[in-house]
Chain A
Amino acid sequence: MNRRWSVGLRLRLVAAFAAVAVGAVIATTGANYLSARNTILQGVQDRAMDTLRTQVSTFAATVPLPPTQRDLDALQRRLNGYVAVFYRELRSTGGPPTEELPTEFRAAVHDSDRMLFQRGLWSASAPYLMIGMTVRTQNSAGAVEPTGLEIYAQISLASSQADISKLAMWAWVTGALALLVAVGIALLAARSVLRPVRELNVAARRLADGQFDTRLRVRGGDELAELAHTFNSSAATLRHNVGELRRMESDARRFVADVSHELRTPLTAMTAVIEILEQETDRMPPDSAVAARLVAGETRKLSRLVQDLMEISRFDAGRAGLELDEWEVATAVRDTLAARGWQDSVEVELPEGLVARLDRRRLDIVLANLVGNALRHGAPPVLVRLWQEDGGVVIEVSDGGPGLPESVLPHVFDRFYKADSARTRSEGSGLGLAIARENARLHGGSLSAGNRQGGGACFLLRLPGVLV
């Protein structure tokens, strides 16, 4: 994607440069070519006409009028070049044949008192110049009148054509060289523009990956340098802000960990003695008994909350370790249920013989949480299913209750999220599912929540690649 973009920009730059170069070369070389060609042809033409005019004025007077065939031939011989002399119906025996002289040209020459010329082609590669003139003389009265003599000359332009072709070839060569140079310059220019653009792209991607210390080298003072400067200051601001946020978050988490830790000591003392209080309730006045039971119950809840807070703090701090060992999964699941007396209230589909490497304690935490939730908030039948997938195992915990509302689903793993805002406090700490998900992730797996087609919440614990 990005590669194509970079190539595209380069191609566009090269094309633009080439177009400019070709345009300029065509304009200048073409103009030069045309003017040089005209100059060459004009020179040839002028020389030929001057020669003919001089010779005619020297020799034409010697011809008696009206001339005989011999007189015409004599004049023709005296004139240089490929010349034909006409007088009325007569014409010299030498020179270009009559049919090669176009009738219109001859008519024009006949009626004109000036020397005329026309360019023509003998064949594709042999251009020629045709000159025609009438011979005039001054009569006794001093007036100029035509003698009836017409002289036509044909001059080959082959050597001039060779010069012109050479000129054209040089024009092509120059054009090609100019194009090459233009493309070269275009590539250089593209590189000098694209390199900073590419660097910017790489830097932006690094920034997106969270490497906030990424900086660009600022070169020169052009727009790209300015852009690099802007990028750098943005990155610096971002780094500062993200650093600040992270610091605040880690402060908050450390605070939670510290508070939980501080709460542990008094809770330990309270937990140690609440049982005594509970055992005495029979002998207490009714109000005191209620108060004692309340204190005992709430102390246990508080104790569980603090333990869960400590647990989640351990995940946050990255101090949660994995104690992997090999376990027969079906047995592990059964043990978890049996340890809590749930074996009769939960239906199971547990294929035997799946041995996986996992942390037994953490699997127990996840399962106890999911099944506990299903029993508390869902409705029977609570079903635990196990199957093999992706070289690992999937454990599904579902119930036959109404399921989770769509609006709740995205938040079930949030800390302290309460599905029902009216219910101020539930049995659990509000951290159970968050801890369960962290435990799944620690195994390289995942925990997801959804609803079954027939209703009822359904949690999927996926532990890929754990099978032995």
Chain B
Amino acid sequence: MVVQQTWIMGAVAMVLVVEDDRAVREALQLSLRRQGHDVHVADSGERGLAFLREQRPDLVLVDLMLPGIDGFETCRRIRAEGDLPIIVLTARSDDFDVVAGLEAGADDYVVKPVEPRVLDARIRAVLRRAASEQQASDEHFGDLVVDRTALVVTKGGEPVALTPTELKLLLELTRTPGRVLSRQQLLSAVWDHDYLGDSRLVDACVQRLRAKIEDDPGSPRHVRTVRGFGYRFDRL
């Protein structure tokens, strides 16, 4: 797996905005363009997916409420194709929506109406790739191998396709095996949520990570839940 360059603040990122409301679409386009991004727009999930077949943006911003195939389904299809980072934009207030969006594969979410500054910070956090560590050697955890230099993860010799967020989470957890990390610690380390994040982001990402690196995601042996505290990575 070839990992792209570490994202540098201020660099141009290609962002696809999938939003059905014309005003919101135009305003987001305007705002993000001024933040220095290369913005493309689509007014439906279908058009968004069609765009993705032709080009590869750095990030997709998807509204959950879309005509035709909705935001959840759009997320699932993007995720099925690969590790493209996704931020969902939700106008609905139900916590259920957020959870469903995260389960569909979103890396982060923002609630409408969102301040451009907040949105930009979230975008940059998601795009900031895991930094490779020069001195580190391959670490073996059973049949799981984490290469901190090349940022490659293999399981039983096969490369594991992780999204940037999942990779960052795994690197964070494996940095201190056996030590419990609280959700808030993980939020600030992986998502750059400075002081107040939604711990469901962590839970959803842990679920996806387990599905990829555990033999039995239902009874995980590496990424263990420590009730009331957070998560712990076990060597085995």
Tell me the A residues contacting B by CB distance below 8 Å.
257, 261, 264-273, 275-276, 303, 306-307, 310-311, 313-314, 319-321, 323, 325-326, 335-336, 338-339, 357, 360-361, 364, 468
In Å, the complex CA distance between A338 and B28 comes to: 30
Selected from A268, A311, A320, A325, the residue in CB contact (under 8 A) with B24 is A268
**Judging by beta carbons under 8 Å apart, are B113 and A270 in contact?**
yes
Selected from B31, B198, B228, the residue in CB contact (under 8 A) with A361 is B198
**Within 8 Å of chain A (Cβ to Cβ): is B175?**
no
In Å, the complex CA distance between A325 and B95 comes to: 17
Query: What are 20 sample pairs from A and B whose C-beta atoms fall under 8 A apart?
Result: A261-B92, A265-B24, A268-B114, A270-B27, A271-B116, A272-B27, A272-B119, A273-B30, A275-B115, A276-B34, A303-B113, A306-B113, A319-B96, A323-B198, A325-B228, A326-B182, A335-B195, A336-B195, A357-B228, A360-B184
Selected from A270, A303, A319, the residue in CB contact (under 8 A) with B94 is A319
Residues of chain B within 8 A (CB-CB) of A268 are 21, 24, 27-28, 91, 112-114
Residues of chain B within 8 A (CB-CB) of A265 are 21, 23-24, 91, 112
In Å, the complex CA distance between A3 and B23 comes to: 69
Within 8 A of A (CB), among B76-109: 91-96
In Å, the complex CA distance between A468 and B228 comes to: 10
Please judge, given known A-B contacts A275-B116, A303-B113, whether A325 and B196 are in contact too, CB under 8 Å.
no
Task: Specify the chain A residue showing the minimal Cβ separation from B35.
Answer: A275
**Judging by beta carbons under 8 Å apart, are B117 and A275 in contact?**
yes
**Within 8 Å of chain A (Cβ to Cβ): is B158?**
no
In Å, the complex CA distance between A275 and B119 comes to: 13
**Judging by beta carbons under 8 Å apart, are A364 and B196 in contact?**
yes
Within 8 A of A (CB), among B14-28: 21, 23-24, 26-28
Smallest distance from the beta carbon of B61 to chain A beta carbons, Å?
11
**Judging by beta carbons under 8 Å apart, are B183 and A325 in contact?**
yes
**Within 8 Å of chain A (Cβ to Cβ): is B200?**
yes
Interface size class of B (residues with CB under 8 A): 35 or more
Residues of chain B within 8 A (CB-CB) of A336 are 195
In Å, the complex CA distance between A335 and B194 comes to: 10
In Å, the complex CA distance between A319 and B199 comes to: 18
Q: A269-B26, A272-B28, A326-B229 are in contact. List 18 more A-B contacts (CB 8 A).
A: A261-B91, A261-B92, A264-B113, A266-B23, A268-B28, A269-B23, A269-B28, A270-B113, A271-B113, A272-B116, A273-B30, A275-B115, A275-B117, A313-B93, A319-B94, A321-B95, A323-B198, A325-B230
Smallest distance from the beta carbon of B97 to chain A beta carbons, Å?
10
Smallest distance from the beta carbon of A257 to chain B beta carbons, Å?
8
In Å, the complex CA distance between A12 and B115 comes to: 76
Please judge, given known A-B contacts A264-B91, A270-B113, A339-B196, whether A325 and B184 are in contact too, CB under 8 Å.
yes
**Judging by beta carbons under 8 Å apart, are B21 and A269 in contact?**
yes
Task: Specify the chain B residue showing the minimal Cβ separation from A314.
Answer: B93
Smallest distance from the beta carbon of A251 to chain B beta carbons, Å?
18
Task: Specify the chain A residue showing the minimal Cβ separation from B118.
Answer: A271
**Judging by beta carbons under 8 Å apart, are A339 and B195 in contact?**
yes
Smallest distance from the beta carbon of A344 to chain B beta carbons, Å?
17
Task: Specify the chain A residue showing the minimal Cβ separation from B34.
Answer: A276
Selected from B24, B93, B196, B229, the residue in CB contact (under 8 A) with A272 is B24
In Å, the complex CA distance between A131 and B229 comes to: 116
In Å, the complex CA distance between A99 and B25 comes to: 140
Residues of chain A within 8 A (CB-CB) of B111 are 307
Smallest distance from the beta carbon of B93 to chain A beta carbons, Å?
4
In Å, the complex CA distance between A319 and B92 comes to: 12
Residues of chain B within 8 A (CB-CB) of A319 are 93-96
Residues of chain B within 8 A (CB-CB) of A275 are 31, 34, 115-117
Residues of chain A within 8 A (CB-CB) of B30 are 272-273, 276
In Å, the complex CA distance between A326 and B117 comes to: 30
Within 8 A of A (CB), among B22-68: 23-24, 26-28, 30-31, 34
Smallest distance from the beta carbon of B143 to chain A beta carbons, Å?
32
In Å, the complex CA distance between A270 and B31 comes to: 10
**Judging by beta carbons under 8 Å apart, are B113 and A360 in contact?**
no
Smallest distance from the beta carbon of A363 to chain B beta carbons, Å?
10
Residues of chain A within 8 A (CB-CB) of B117 are 275
In Å, the complex CA distance between A259 and B199 comes to: 29
